[in-house]
């Protein structure tokens, strides 16, 4: 958590994230998440609008381990780290052979001596936990099968910019019970956001994460709904959200998944039961069966500001 340690004096409240790894937002409380969003917005304003140069990471390097390819994660990390004066080093699975030619333990120790922080985009969340166990530097989850926390920070920064405040908003997830949804479930209640989830039967979120989301909702006084009816989930919502129906590694399931997700495409008809000011999010890449062009390219769609905000939120990790 490098950038926030340099700018935390600008934020409201005594929050110190120095040396913390960032595997899941489950590990962060309300004040810490709000702090991350505040600093991301502050950096965006200073760098993008005031054209300030802030070499907060001068002389620092980040090792980027990618078992899974990505446009937004790679570009946002490389540009964001560079804007703060740091040096990104990109490693694919062919470059590093994580856990194949070298154990995760040895890789963690080697990278701890060669870099200042590691961002890993991996298939299994267990890989991240193994890296954290043996590394002496912070590890960032760039995506795993269980969580995608850096995406959720960008999503909530986008909503905060658009609506002015997060508390009291209702977000409706309509789609697969995947890693992005899991991160929403670990975060929404802590920000005062109500969460309504519709997934097809058999595609529910992880049961332990459902239990934690219910606990968080009760603790923070928000509403949490889990249903298989997209209309029920969308009713009265401020924000409609979906994601890919077929993630990397699920290609053989594509035909069955598309069949099972019929009726889950987000359209203007879906939005007809939402709040009049409803907006749309998608972490990309997007397929038309998930959301039609009328919604995706409409003024209601925040997907491109959302993608840009990946750059500003990665700076605070």
Active site members: 283
Distances (CA, A) of 244 to 13, 173, 289: 37, 12, 9
Would you call the peptide bond into 285 cis, given omega within 30 degrees of 0 as the criterion?
A: yes
Q: List the 279-282 sheet strands across, edge first.
A: 224-227, 194-198, 170-174, 239-242, 279-282
DSSP state of 220: H
Q: What's the CA gap between 131 and 149, in Å, rounded? A: 17
Does residue 183 contact residue 149 with C-beta atoms inside 8 Å? yes
Cα 217 to chain centroid distance, Å, stands at 19
27 CB contacts (<8 Å, ≥6 apart)? none
Rounded CA-CA distance 265/270 in Å is 8
């Amino acid at each position: 958590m490098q950038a926030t340690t340099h700018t935390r004096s600008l934020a409201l409240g005594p929050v110190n994230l120095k040396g913390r790894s960032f595997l899941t937002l489950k590990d962060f409380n309300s004040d810490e998440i709000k702090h991350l969003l505040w600093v991301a917005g502050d950096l965006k304003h200073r760098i993008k609008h005031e054209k300030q140069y802030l070499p907060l990471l001068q002389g620092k390097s980040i090792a980027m381990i990618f078992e899974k390819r990505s446009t937004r994660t790679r570009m946002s990390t490389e540009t964001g780290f560079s804007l703060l004066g740091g040096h990104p080093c990109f490693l694919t699975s062919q470059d590093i052979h994580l856990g194949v030619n070298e154990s995760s333990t040895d890789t963690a120790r080697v990278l701890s001596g060669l870099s200042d922080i590691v961002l890993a985009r991996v298939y299994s969340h267990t890989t991240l936990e193994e890296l954290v166990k043996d590394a002496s530097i912070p590890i960032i989850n760039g995506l795993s099968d269980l969580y995608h926390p850096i995406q959720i920070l960008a999503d909530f920064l986008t909503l905060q910019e658009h609506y002015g405040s997060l508390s009291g908003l209702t977000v409706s997830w309509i789609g697969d019970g995947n890693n992005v949804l899991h991160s929403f479930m670990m975060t929404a209640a802590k920000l005062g956001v109500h969460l309504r989830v519709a997934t097809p039967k058999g595609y529910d979120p992880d049961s332990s994460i459902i239990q934690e989301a219910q606990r968080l909702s009760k603790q923070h006084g928000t509403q949490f709904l889990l249903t298989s009816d997209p209309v029920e989930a969308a009713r009265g919502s401020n924000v409609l959200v979906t994601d890919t129906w077929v993630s990397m590694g699920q290609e053989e399931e594509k035909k069955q998944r598309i069949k099972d997700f019929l009726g889950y495409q987000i359209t203007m008809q879906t939005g007809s039961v939402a709040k009049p000011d409803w907006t749309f999010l998608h972490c990309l890449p997007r397929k038309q069966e998930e959301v039609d062009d009328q919604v995706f390219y409409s003024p209601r769609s925040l997907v491109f500001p959302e993608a840009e905000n990946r750059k500003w939120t990665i700076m605070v990790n």
